[in-house]
Structure formats: structure tokens, C-alpha cells
Amino acid sequence: MVLALILVFTPQPLKNFLILLPKYLTYEHVIGTIVPKTETTGRDLEKLMEDICKDPEIYKNNVNENITKYGKKVWISWTNKAIKDDKGNLVGILSVGNDITKQRLATLKISESEDKFRTITEQSFIGIAILEDFKFKYVNQQFSDTLGYTPKEILKWKSKEFLKLMHPEDRERIMETAENIYYGKNDILADIQFRATKKTGEVIWLEIISKTIPFEDKIANLIATLDITEKKEVERLVLEENRKLVELNKMRKDIITRVSHELKTPLTSIYGASQILLKHFDGKIDEDVLKFIEIFHRGALRLKKLVENLIDASRIESGKLELNIKMDDLVKITKECVEEMSYLLDSRKLIVNLNLPDELEFNVDKIRLQQVITNLLSNAMKNTPISGKIYVNLVENHDYIDIQIKDKGVGITEKEKELLFEKFGKMERYGMDLGVDIEGSGLGLYISKEIVELHGGQILVESEGRNKGSTFTIRLY
């Protein structure tokens, strides 16, 4: 709505406003009628009208609150022109106005919203900024504190001038990311991390989240920034410690491998020599000496197995344990394992019940599979009280073959099952008075599991708990 008023300096009665145009009004009639004495913003409009009447040239354009005939307050944008007589004396003012109430209210709402935004952001511990056309339009105090510049300094930066703060190694990546969001390829960017240089020259790590927003009738980016320098330092320390641990672990593996290989040769000699003495000189050696040789032989055998297990564990960790797969008879392999254990079975008065088919061919590494079966048999013997029974079954199914080794011994608890296949996951049973052999390195089941999995199979374990026996199954697919 366009309005036209002529303000004259001779009294004229005020009859209408915004209805009959133009109207000739005096200064006295304007205040309190179409113009309130005080604006809702608190501005003194009486003083404004007085100033306009004194020198309208200064107030060619002004915006103020007005009152309609019906008492409604509206906002008018006025353009004023002085009216002079032939002698150049000011005799009146021609004012043309445009109703901008809707725009004014919208502006006030935006202003209120901006005030709330600023109030919130200025209290935030996160740096917040608005970037338009790669130029900062707003930064909160935390943002400026993070970079070490004042808000005024940052707002004076030219377009893309902020790039000078970024570490050269990160600059190209961040600029590419910024352009992607600027040209609408991404609406939200999160977890963007880069290094920046503060005004003091200190290099810090920043993490930003950016979202496209409308700002002053344009598209801008709302950026939330967090200083993650301490977090990055912690991550660096963790990585460094982890690197050291990896190196130490490698050293440990190397030491175990080297020591194991160095021990293997003399132990093999000791074991072989004691075995020869027991086998060929029985009856020729004093009985008391013979007992010591037997102890010597058992100790050498235990150390020999431990060294072999350590070497195998090292090969597994380094991925160097290889299989020599070929077709072989599982029945024959199983029987040979039981026969090899006959001496120990007899010493503990254990009985093994075999339930095997006549023949069953399968692609396996014979030596490694024997190692697994022997280990499971050895465990069954250790966990079965003297004069107990062990059951060995070989079952052919449609899709797989099971080699089962079952005992009626001390059984396995749920907690113990968690440790079974862990490296050095030996179950401690000292002082439990279970009447079983508790010796072992804790590597046997770990190695057995790896060997079976290299065959493409798995080892299953079942036990209902303490003193209820257990069943270990080698399942080959």
C-alpha cells in the first residue's frame, strides 16, 4: 500500500488517515494521531518528527511506526521531500510512504531468532561459525578463542583466506570437501579432521561438522568446531605404545622360536639316548639307575613335546604352518594313535573302546591329524581317573566325518570352556584332588584347533559339567 501525505505548517483539522489521500496535516496533528509519541521499540517519535520538520533534507528516507484510523499500528517506509515557496522558504513536506509491516515483522522475528542463536552460541563450549561464499559471516567467542584471533579479525578475512591456517598436507583435502558441500554435492559433513595453525603459530587438531543453511537470503554453512588436539595426542600415544607392543611381541615370538629350535636338537639327543638305554640295556643297568633313566626319559619327552608345541604355535602365528594333504585311511590313523598311547594307557589302567568302520578314506595331513588325535587322547587320559574308560568313535555322515573322543572323567565347566582353545589357556586344577594328571603347557588344544581349521573343519566340545565327562569331536567336511 502506497500512501501520500502533505505536512503543512498552517493548522488544518485532521479528519482521516490512510483513507482520504492526500491529507494536509500540521505537525501538532501528526503526533499522537497517525504517529505515536513513542515507538514500541522505545524510540522517541515526537523528537523524530520535530527533527524532520526542521530539516527534511537530512531525512529523505525514514522508517517509523504509525497508527491507522482504527488504531492499528503499522510500519511505514517514508520518502520525504521539502516543499518551498518562491523565496525558498520551507512551507511543507511531501511524504510518500509504503506499508512494510509484514517485512518489518518478519525482520523482527529473524532478529529475535538471531539474538537467541547468538545467546546460545556465545555460551557454547563448541566453536560455531557461519561461512558464506567461503567468507566468515559470524563466529562465536569459542571459535575465535580456539584459533587465537579476535572475532573482528576473522570477520575481516577475505574469501578463502581461512585456508592459510590449514596445514599444507590437509589443505587440498579440506578445500575439496568444502567445495563439495558448497556446490550442493553434500548437505551435511561430519567428522572432518585437520590440522590448523593458531595465531601464535601453535599447530592444533580440529574436528568440524558442517551443515548447509539459509542465511540472509543466501546459502551458507553452519560450522561446529571442536579442538581435538588432546584426543589426537592420546591416539598418537596409544598407537606408539601399540607399535612398541607389536615390536615386543615380535621379539618374544623370535626369542621363543630361536630358543625352541636351539633346544630341539639337544633334547632330541637326550630323549633318543634315554630311549636307547631303556630299550637295549634293560637288565644290564642297576635297577636304581634305571629308575633315574626313566625319570630322565619322561622329562626329556615332556620337554620335547613342549618345544615342538612352541615351534608349532610360532608357525601358526606367523601363518607358516602348512599341510601336506593327501588321501589316507582315517581308521588306520586313529588306531595308530591309540597304539602309540598304549604305554600311558596301561600305566593308568585305562580302557579304550574303539567303534570304527573297516576303512574310511579322506584327504588329510596324516602327521598333523595324528598330532590332533594324540593330543585329544592325551587330554582324555589326563582327565580320566585311574581304571576309567575312554571311547573313540569314527562316524561318517552325509556332509562330514566325526572323530569323537569321549571320556567319563572330571568334565569341563562353562567357565573352563572359555579357556579351552586359547593359547596357554591351561585349566588350573591344582589342589582340587580330582585324581587326574594336571600337567600340560596349555598349547595342545590351541594348536589342534588351528590344524583342524586348516583342514577346513572344526573341533566341538560337549560337557555337562564337573565329573560328568566330556566329548571332543573333530569334524571334517
Residue 367 Cα distances to 30, 119, 362, angstroms: 113, 77, 14
- Write b or e for each residue in 172-207: b if 16 or more Cβ atoms lie within 10 A of its Cβ, otherwise e: eebeebbeebbeeeeeebeebebbbbeeeeeebbbb
Edge-to-edge strand ranges of the sheet holding 90-99: 24-25, 2-8, 90-99, 73-84, 61-67
Cβ–Cβ < 8 Å for 8, 27: no
Cβ–Cβ < 8 Å for 297, 274: yes
Mean local confidence (pLDDT), 303-310: 79
417 pLDDT band (50/70/90 cuts)? Answer: confident
- Write b or e for each residue in 62-94: b if 16 or more Cβ atoms lie within 10 A of its Cβ, otherwise e: bebbbbeeeeeebbbebebebeeeeeeeeebbe
310 pLDDT band (50/70/90 cuts)? Answer: confident
| 336 vs 324: CA distance, rounded Å | 19
91 vs 152, residue with greater confidence? 152
Cβ–Cβ < 8 Å for 189, 137: no
Q: Rounded to an integer, what is the distance from CA 281 to the centroid of its chain?
A: 68
Q: Rounded to an integer, what is the distance from CA 221 to the centroid of its chain?
A: 26
27 pLDDT band (50/70/90 cuts)? Answer: very low
- pLDDT, position 199: 93
Mean local confidence (pLDDT), 192-216: 89
Q: Is the dihedral of CA 267, 270, 274, 276 positive or negative?
A: positive
Closest by Cα among 426, 471, 475 to 452: 475
Mean local confidence (pLDDT), 189-206: 89
pLDDT one-digit tens code per residue, 94-147: 888 888 888 888 877 777 777 777 777 778 889 999 988 889 999 999 999 999
- pLDDT, position 425: 64
DSSP state letters, 289-349:
HHHHHHHHHHHHHHHHHHHHHHHHHHHHHTT------EEEEHHHHHHHHHHHTHHHHHHTT
All domains of the chain in start order, with CATH:
2-99 (3.30.450), 109-227 (3.30.450.20), 232-317 (1.10.287), 326-476 (3.30.565.10)
| Least confident stretch, 10-14, 38-42, 244-248, 287-291 | 10-14
- pLDDT, position 392: 96
437 vs 72, residue with greater confidence? 72
Runs of H (alpha helix) within 208-286: 229-280
Residue 160 Cα distances to 8, 178, 237, angstroms: 55, 10, 34
Going by C-beta distance under 8 Å and a sequence separation of 6 or more, which residues neighbour residue 470?
A: 380, 383, 406, 407, 409, 411, 412, 461, 462, 463
| 13 vs 328: CA distance, rounded Å | 123
Question: Is the pLDDT assigned to residue 200 strictly greater than 90?
Answer: yes
- pLDDT, position 185: 59
| 139 vs 152: CA distance, rounded Å | 9
Strand partners, 39: none
Mean local confidence (pLDDT), 52-73: 83
| 284 vs 277: CA distance, rounded Å | 9
Question: Is the pLDDT assigned to residue 240 strictly greater than 50?
Answer: yes
Mean local confidence (pLDDT), 73-93: 84
Tell me the residue type at 158. K
Classify 273 as helix, strand or coil: helix
Mean local confidence (pLDDT), 332-356: 90
202 vs 252, residue with greater confidence? 202
Residue 291 Cα distances to 278, 286, 297, 304, angstroms: 10, 9, 10, 20
DSSP secondary structure code for residue 427 in this structure: P
User: 60 is written with which cell numbers?
Assistant: 529523505
420 pLDDT band (50/70/90 cuts)? Answer: confident
422 pLDDT band (50/70/90 cuts)? Answer: confident
DSSP state letters, 97-123:
EEE-HHHHHHHHHHHHHHHHHHHHHHT
Asked whether the whole model's pTM tops 0.75, one would answer no
| Least confident stretch, 81-85, 187-191, 279-283, 420-424 | 187-191
Question: Is the pLDDT assigned to residue 324 strictly greater than 50?
Answer: yes
| 358 vs 366: CA distance, rounded Å | 18
203 pLDDT band (50/70/90 cuts)? Answer: very high
- pLDDT, position 17: 35
* Mean pLDDT rounded to a whole number for the chain: 82
| 259 vs 205: CA distance, rounded Å | 46
pLDDT one-digit tens code per residue, 426-477: 665 555 554 555 556 678 898 999 999 999 999 999 999 888 899 999 999 9
Question: Is the pLDDT assigned to residue 266 strictly greater than 50?
Answer: yes
